[in-house]
Amino acid sequence: MKSYTLSKRNVKTIIDRMTKTWPVTPEFNKSIQVRIVEINEHKRLLIFTNLEAIELEGLLIPTLKSTELLQSFPYVEVDQGAVSYICNGADVMRPGIVGWVAFKKGDIVGVRESKYKKFIAIGIALINESDMRGMSKGAVAKNVHYIGDRLWATYKQP
């Protein structure tokens, strides 16, 4: 894995992208530094002073470690039967969803389990929430980051 620090110009570009695509933009001070850890050619971990983010094929998403930030994103809540599948990389399927907050196709969606209300994955909505209501089966969100994946293991290291 390759690791380096971003220039101030590139940091500003990243923050501008967050501002445009995230429902809430985290507070950053002017002297912020961002460390990049390249996982592979399509995945990079961005380590800010106060949070971590992931860049997946040009899309910026928060990590599961950023619990407070994830609260501002739309989410789906899944039953206990779906947890093990999702934590092994499976997409979020309609039968396992027991609750949700409104979302649109293409939105970054948190996935949390229903018992303890903890986020277990982050996905990209494949359909609109209104379309999901009438479904009884099928994929609702593509799983892009979950507990136990390579990115999670990278930022969980001491």
Domains and CATH numbers, the chain: 2-67 (3.10.450.120), 71-152 (2.30.130.10)
Which pLDDT score, from 0 to 100, does residue 49 have? 84
Residue 157's CB: how many other CB atoms inside 10 A?
5
Angle, vertex CA 137, rays to CA 55 and CA 82, nearest 5: 60
10-residue averages of pLDDT along the chain (158 residues): 90 91 85 88 88 91 92 97 97 97 96 97 97 95 94 75
The pLDDT score that the predictor gives to residue 158 is 55
CB 93 within 8 A of CB 50: no
The predicted structure's pLDDT at residue 54:
94
Three-state SS at 78: strand
Q: Specify the pTM.
A: 0.89
Distance between CA atoms of 155 and 127, rounded to whole angstroms?
Answer: 30
The reported pLDDT for the residue numbered 30 is 74
